Structure 1
Amino acid sequence: MFKLNLKIALRNLWKNKGFSLINIGGLAIGLASCMILLIYVAYEWSYDKQFKNSDKTYVVYQNLVASGKTFSWPWTPNVMANEVQEKIPGVKYASHSTYPRPNLITVGENRLSAKVVFTDPNFLKILDYKFIKGNSNQVLKDINSIILTKSFAEKLFGNEDPMNKTVKLENQDVLKVSAVIEDAPANSSIVFECLMPWTLFEKREPWVKESNWGNNMCLTLVQLRDNNLFSSANAAMEGIYKRNSKDNVAVALLHPLTKWHLYSDFENGKSVGGKIDQLKIFLLLAFCILLIACVNFMNLSTARSERRAKEVGVRKAIGSTRKSLINQFFLESILITFISTVLAFILVEISLPYFNNLLNIKLTIDYTNSGFWIALFSLMIFTGFVAGSYPALYLSSFEPIKVLKGLKIKTDSSVSVRKVLVIGQFVFAACLIICTAVIYQQLNYVKNKPIGYNQANLMQIAVEGKMHDSSKLELLKTQLLKSGAATHVTSFSSDVTEGGNNTTNIEWEGKNPKELISFNHRAIGNDFIETMGTELMSGRALSSQLKNDTNNVMLNEAAVKMMGLKWPIGATITFWGNKMTNVGVVKDFVVESAYQKVAPMIFYIDNHSDASVMLVRLNPDQNISSSLAQIDEIVKGIEPNYPVNRKFVNESFEVKFQDEKLLGTLSNWFGGFAIFISCLGLLGLALYMAEQRKKEISIRKVLGATTGNILTLLNKEFIKLVAIANLIAFPLAYIIINKWLSTFEYRISISFLPFALAISVSIVIAVLTVSMQLIKVAKANPIDALKYE
Structure 2
Amino acid sequence: MFKNYFKTAWRNLLKTKGYSAINIGGLAVGMAVAMLIGLWVYDELSFNKYHQHYDRIAQVMQRASFNGKLVTQTANPALMGPAIKEGYGSDFKHVLQASWVGGHLVTYNNKPFNKTGLYIEPGGPDMLSLQMIKGTKDALNDPYSIILSASTAKAIFGNTDPMGKVLKFDRNYSVKVTGVYEDLPNNASFNELKIMMPWQLWLTQNPWVKQMDDPWGSNFSQTFVQIADNADMQKVSAKIKNVKLKYVNEGEKRYNWEVFLHPMSKWHLYNDFKNGVNIGGNIKYVWLFGIIGIFVLLLACINFMNLSTARSEKRAKEVGIRKAIGSMRWQITKQFFMESYIVVMAAFILSIVLLAVLLPLFNNVAGKQIVIPWSNSGFWLLNLAFIFITGLLAGSYPALYLSSFNPLKVLKGTFKAGKGAVVPRRVLVVLQFTVSVMLIIGTIIVYQQIQYAKNRPIGYSKNGLINFGFESEVKQHFETIRNELKNAGAIEEMTASNSPLTGVWNTNGGFDWEGKDPALAVDFPNNGVTYDFGKTIHWDIKEGRDFSRDYATDSAAFIINESAAKFLGLKDPVGKILKWDNKPFTIIAIIKDIMQESPFYPVRPTLYHIDKYDNLFNTIVRLNPNKDISSSVRIIEQELKKYTPDVPFDYQFVDESFGDKFKTEQRIGKLASYFSILAIFISCLGLFGMASFVAEQRTKEIGIRKVLGASVPNLWRLLSTEFVALVLLSCVIAAPIAYFYLKGWLINYDYRIAISWNVFLFASIIALFITLITVSYQAIKAALANPVKSLRTE
- Same fold by TM-score, threshold 0.5 exceeded? yes
Alignment of 1:163-182 (within 5 A): 163-182=163-182
| 1:324 corresponds to 2:356 | no
Q: Are 2:22 and 2:686, in contact at CA under 8 Å, matched by a contact in 1? A: no
Residue-by-residue CA offset, 1:497-531 (whole Å, 9 max, x unaligned):
01221122211121111112221110111211111
Residue-by-residue CA offset, 1:548-603 (whole Å, 9 max, x unaligned):
33222221221111101113222222213422222222221111111111111111
- Give the corresponding residue for 2:8: 8
Counterpart Cα distance in 1 of 2:384 and 2:183 = 32
| 1:217 corresponds to 2:220 | yes
- Give the corresponding residue for 1:373: 380
Counterpart Cα distance in 2 of 1:614 and 1:260 = 32
Look up the SS of the partner of 2:613 in the other structure. Answer: coil
Look up the SS of the partner of 2:59 in the other structure. Answer: strand
**Offset, 1:227:** 7.0
Q: Are 1:105 and 1:112, in contact at CA under 8 Å, matched by a contact in 2? A: yes
Counterpart Cα distance in 2 of 1:143 and 1:543 = 45
**Offset, 1:357:** 2.2
Counterpart Cα distance in 2 of 1:620 and 1:703 = 74
**Offset, 1:691:** 4.1
| 1:93 corresponds to 2:81 | no
**Offset, 1:81:** 1.5
Q: Are 1:719 and 1:763, in contact at CA under 8 Å, matched by a contact in 2? A: yes
Look up the SS of the partner of 2:70 in the other structure. Answer: strand
Q: Are 1:418 and 1:685, in contact at CA under 8 Å, matched by a contact in 2? A: no
**Offset, 1:544:** 5.1
Counterpart Cα distance in 2 of 1:59 and 1:754 = 42
After superposition, the Cα gap between the structure-2 partners of 1:531 and 1:56, relative to the gap in structure 1 and judged at 3 Å, is same
Residue-by-residue CA offset, 1:264-283 (whole Å, 9 max, x unaligned):
11122121111111221111
| Unmatched tracts of structure 1, length 5 or more | none
- Give the corresponding residue for 2:521: 516
Q: What is the CA RMSD across the aligned residues, in angstroms?
A: 1.8
Q: Are 1:484 and 1:619, in contact at CA under 8 Å, matched by a contact in 2? A: yes
**Offset, 1:781:** 4.1
Look up the SS of the partner of 2:216 in the other structure. Answer: coil
Q: Are 1:170 and 1:465, in contact at CA under 8 Å, matched by a contact in 2? A: no
Counterpart Cα distance in 1 of 2:715 and 2:624 = 67
Match of 1:753 among 755, 758, 771: 758
- Give the corresponding residue for 1:65: 65
- Give the corresponding residue for 1:619: 624
TM-score (norm 2): 0.96
- Give the corresponding residue for 2:200: 199
Q: Are 1:544 and 1:550, in contact at CA under 8 Å, matched by a contact in 2? A: no
Look up the SS of the partner of 2:232 in the other structure. Answer: helix
Match of 1:491 among 476, 496, 500: 496
After superposition, the Cα gap between the structure-2 partners of 1:217 and 1:371, relative to the gap in structure 1 and judged at 3 Å, is farther
Structure 2 residue identity aligned to 1:642: V
Alignment of 1:151-300 (within 5 A): 151-190=151-190, 191-209=192-210, 212-226=215-229, 229-247=232-250, 248=253, 249-300=256-307
| Unmatched tracts of structure 2, length 5 or more | none
- Give the corresponding residue for 1:31: 31
Q: Are 1:432 and 1:671, in contact at CA under 8 Å, matched by a contact in 2? A: yes
Look up the SS of the partner of 1:657 in the other structure. Answer: helix
Aligned residues: percent identity?
39
Alignment of 1:121-160 (within 5 A): 121-136=122-137, 138-160=138-160
Structure 2 residue identity aligned to 1:284: I
Structure 2 residue identity aligned to 1:619: N
- Give the corresponding residue for 2:116: 115
Counterpart Cα distance in 1 of 2:107 and 2:550 = 38
Structure 2 residue identity aligned to 1:102: G
**Offset, 1:91:** 2.1
Structure 2 residue identity aligned to 1:150: A
Counterpart Cα distance in 2 of 1:423 and 1:532 = 54
Residue-by-residue CA offset, 1:601-659 (whole Å, 9 max, x unaligned):
11111232222111111111111121122122222222111111111110000010111
Structure 2 residue identity aligned to 1:112: F
| 1:384 corresponds to 2:391 | yes
Look up the SS of the partner of 1:581 in the other structure. Answer: strand
Q: Are 2:467 and 2:619, in contact at CA under 8 Å, matched by a contact in 1? A: yes
Look up the SS of the partner of 1:609 in the other structure. Answer: helix
**Offset, 1:362:** 1.8
After superposition, the Cα gap between the structure-2 partners of 1:679 and 1:543, relative to the gap in structure 1 and judged at 3 Å, is same
- Give the corresponding residue for 2:79: 79
Counterpart Cα distance in 1 of 2:173 and 2:514 = 48
- Give the corresponding residue for 2:467: 460
- Give the corresponding residue for 1:476: 481
Q: Are 2:22 and 2:689, in contact at CA under 8 Å, matched by a contact in 1? A: no
- Give the corresponding residue for 1:575: 580
Look up the SS of the partner of 1:386 in the other structure. Answer: helix
| 1:404 corresponds to 2:411 | yes
TM-score (norm 1): 0.96
- Give the corresponding residue for 1:705: 710
Match of 1:507 among 509, 512, 521: 512
Structure 2 residue identity aligned to 1:200: L
Counterpart Cα distance in 2 of 1:397 and 1:86 = 76
After superposition, the Cα gap between the structure-2 partners of 1:111 and 1:704, relative to the gap in structure 1 and judged at 3 Å, is same
Q: Are 2:366 and 2:671, in contact at CA under 8 Å, matched by a contact in 1? A: no
**Offset, 1:484:** 0.4
Alignment of 1:618-697 (within 5 A): 618-697=623-702
- Give the corresponding residue for 2:341: 334
Counterpart Cα distance in 2 of 1:449 and 1:412 = 54
Task: Indicate the larger mover: 565-574 or 728-737.
Answer: 565-574
Counterpart Cα distance in 1 of 2:229 and 2:418 = 63
Structure 1 residue identity aligned to 2:305: M
Look up the SS of the partner of 1:3 in the other structure. Answer: helix
Q: Are 1:98 and 1:118, in contact at CA under 8 Å, matched by a contact in 2? A: yes
After superposition, the Cα gap between the structure-2 partners of 1:607 and 1:228, relative to the gap in structure 1 and judged at 3 Å, is closer
Structure 1 residue identity aligned to 2:360: P
Residue-by-residue CA offset, 1:314-333 (whole Å, 9 max, x unaligned):
32233322212222221221
State how many pairs are aligned. Answer: 786
- Give the corresponding residue for 2:772: 767
- Give the corresponding residue for 1:348: 355
